């Protein structure tokens, strides 16, 4: 007599419901692994809040962190009295500015801001001269400084960039570029101690930010949040 | 042979049925919480706040350890934005029920010249007596505001004639571990705020 397989005698691994559940589990796990390993979407980490500030630019006009809200902003820090050999992230900034048109940011735009930590000497006129030498137009790229007692909170605590006046009137400082999104959140920091910030890398990161801005709504927005969750960072 | 085919068909049908069930019923329940605010994955502790409270003593963020802290920058003479935000916050906190004991709302004054600790306490009492006001010297307040991404500026006028203060109106949420976790825009509803806070508790 032929033996008949019944639900009771069939091994667990051959029951339809078990196969279905196991298959589903495998698909979900593989999907998550695929997402993490191949990172189909990359995002920049949301590092910390950028500082709030009110500064005066090279035209003598006020510029605040609220004015820049909604724009992607790249910051550098220096002082006009800085002479050669002066570490000049402004040169990197100029290269990025020249190529930034190749990046698609949707409705958003990129602004460039160089903040001087030497307000005692860097009057709007002095800043204007420096800005002209670097090719900053005062619209897309502005030079600005603010109240002396707020320079440490803004540049030191806020942008985490070290600077210290020396006795001879010059400054010791760590040259840096800081990338901030339209929400006022720091998304990228480029410091020379670790790796010279090349314009290619920063431009690439601005491009990643652009992708995220253009895909921030609906299902695509959820996928980008998933990329944050899985730490898909460049 | 026939039996094998039937088993296969059954397995396939069961698989499709299960997948449908998972997608329509189970997955939505496991949907990740979608914050209405912007999440910050900062691994460093939130910047220090060390000011005079509306109850008259000095306090800092570390005094609210193990609580979710909502920090708002405003001032008592504020004509429209602050009262709206504060009453939205009050509604949001009330929606949390008993869990609201673990939430501390702090309003840091951006108008230290006029907002004395007593005035702050009286003003916040109108909204919720559990809300805490904080103020300090002009310089102290400016430092705290700066590191929290808040810009503020007094407009034309003197203490006698009265003046307005422009300021960033976002809410900053510090989680139980003391990390700055969320930035909530001022136009968020009380439901959105309550759901975000509830998730963090």
Q: What are the angstrom distances between the C-alpha of A20 and each of A141, B10, B21, B33, B42?
A: 59, 10, 12, 28, 40
Rounded Cα distance, B17 and B113, in Å: 67
Do B27 and B46 share a structural domain?
no
Sign of the CA dihedral with A110 first, then A116, A122, and A123 last: positive
Test B151 with A65 for CB contact under 8 angstroms.
yes
Reported as a pLDDT band with limits 50, 70 and 90, residue B4 is confident
pLDDT tens for residues B83-95? Answer: 999 999 999 999 9
Which member of B38, B47, B180 has the closest CB to residue A183? B38
ipTM of the assembly? Answer: 0.71
Q: Flag if A24 and B18 touch (Cβ within 8 Å).
A: yes
Residues from chain A that touch B34, judged by Cβ atoms under 8 A, are: 222, 225
Task: Identify the pLDDT of residue B61.
Answer: 87
Q: Which residue has the tokens 């088993």?
A: B7
Residue A8 banded pLDDT, cuts 50, 70, 90: low
In the block, which residue shows the tokens 């253009």? A214
> Which tokens in the block code for residue A224?
């980008």
pLDDT exceeds 80 at position A12: no
Bridge partners, residue B60, by sequence: B50
pLDDT for residue B70 is more than 90: yes
Does the pTM surpass 0.95? The reply is: no
Same domain, B46 and B18: no
* B158 plus B131 within the same structural domain: yes
Q: Are residues B67 and B153 in the same domain?
A: yes
Residue A86 to residue A27: CA distance in whole angstroms: 56
- In terms of domains, do B17 and B78 share one? no
For the segment A50-67, the average pLDDT, to the nearest whole number, is 91
Instruction: Summarize pLDDT for A91-127 with one digit per residue, the tens.
Output: 889 999 998 888 888 788 899 999 999 999 999 999 9
Clarify whether residues B23 and B57 are in a common domain.
Answer: no
Q: What is the pLDDT of residues A138-154, one digit of tens each?
A: 888 999 999 988 899 99
On whether both B139 and B185 belong to a single domain, the answer is: yes
- pLDDT number for residue A7: 56
Q: Do B46 and B72 belong to one domain?
A: yes
Q: Are residues B27 and B61 in the same domain?
A: no
Alpha helix segments (H runs only) across chain A: 16-38, 89-99, 124-134, 151, 199-214, 218-229
pLDDT for A38-48, tens place per residue?
A: 777 888 888 88
Say yes or no: B121 and B24 in one domain: no
Residues B72 and B158 both lie in one domain: yes
| Domain span including residue B10 | 1-31
Count the neighbouring beta carbons within 10 Å of the beta carbon of residue B100.
20
Whether residues B65 and B46 share a domain: the answer is: yes
Q: What angle do CA B15, B21, B25 make, to 5 degrees?
A: 160
Contact A143, A114 (CB under 8 A): yes
Q: Which residues of B touch A47 (CB under 8 A)?
A: 40-42
Q: Which residues contact B121 (CB under 8 A, 6 or more apart)?
A: B54, B55, B133
Average pLDDT rounded to a whole number, residues A83-97: 82
Q: Provide the CATH number for the domain around residue B82.
A: 3.40.30.10
B83-137 tens-digit pLDDT: 999 999 999 999 998 888 899 999 999 998 889 999 999 999 999 999 999 999 9
B72 close contact with A: CB closer than 8 A: no
* Domain total of chain B: 2
Count contacts between A and B (CB, < 8 Å): 96
């Amino acid at each position: 007599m032929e033996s008949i397989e019944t639900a009771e005698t069939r091994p667990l691994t051959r029951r339809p419901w078990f196969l279905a559940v196991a298959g589903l589990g495998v698909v979900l796990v593989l999907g998550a692994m695929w997402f993490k390993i191949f990172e189909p979407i990359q995002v920049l980490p949301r590092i910390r809040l950028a500082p709030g500030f009110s500064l005066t630019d090279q035209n003598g006009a006020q510029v605040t962190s609220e004015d820049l809200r909604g724009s992607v902003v790249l910051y550098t820090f220096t002082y006009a009295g800085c002479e050669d050999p002066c570490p000049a992230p402004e040169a990197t900034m100029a290269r990025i500015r020249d190529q930034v048109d190749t990046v698609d940011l949707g409705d958003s735009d990129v602004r460039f801001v160089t903040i001087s930590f030497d307000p005692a000497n860097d009057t709007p006129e002095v800043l204007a001269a420096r800005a002209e030498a670097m090719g900053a137009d005062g619209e897309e790229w502005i030079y600005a400084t603010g109240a002396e007692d707020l320079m440490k909170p803004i540049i030191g605590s806020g942008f985490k960039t070290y600077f210290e006046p020396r006795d001879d009137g010059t400054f010791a400082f760590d040259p840096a570029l800081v990338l901030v999104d339209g929400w006022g959140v720091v998304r990228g920091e480029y410091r020379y101690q670790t790796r010279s910030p090349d314009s290619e890398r920063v431009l690439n990161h601005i491009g990643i930010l652009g992708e995220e801005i253009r895909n921030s709504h609906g299902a695509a927005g959820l996928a980008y949040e998933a990329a944050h969750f899985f730490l898909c960072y460049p | 042979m026939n039996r094998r085919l039937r088993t296969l068909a059954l397995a396939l049908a069961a698989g499709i049925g299960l997948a449908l069930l998972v997608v329509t019923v189970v997955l939505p329940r496991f949907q990740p919480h979608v914050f209405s605010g912007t999440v910050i994955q900062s691994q460093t502790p939130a910047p220090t706040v060390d000011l005079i409270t509306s109850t008259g003593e000095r306090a800092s963020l570390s005094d609210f350890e193990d609580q979710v802290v909502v920090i708002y920058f405003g001032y008592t003479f504020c004509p429209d934005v602050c009262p709206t935000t504060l009453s939205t916050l009050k509604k949001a906190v009330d929606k949390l029920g008993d869990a609201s004991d673990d939430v501390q709302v702090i309003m840091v004054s951006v108008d230290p010249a006029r907002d004395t600790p007593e005035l702050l306490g009286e003003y916040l009492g109108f909204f919720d007596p559990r809300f805490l006001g904080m103020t300090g010297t002009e310089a102290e307040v400016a430092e705290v505001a700066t590191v929290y991404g808040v810009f503020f500026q007094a407009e034309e006028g003197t203490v006698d004639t009265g003046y307005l203060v422009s300021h960033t109106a976002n809410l900053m949420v510090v989680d139980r571990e003391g990390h700055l976790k969320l930035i909530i825009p001022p136009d968020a509803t009380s439901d959105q705020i309550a759901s975000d806070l509830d998730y963090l508790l």
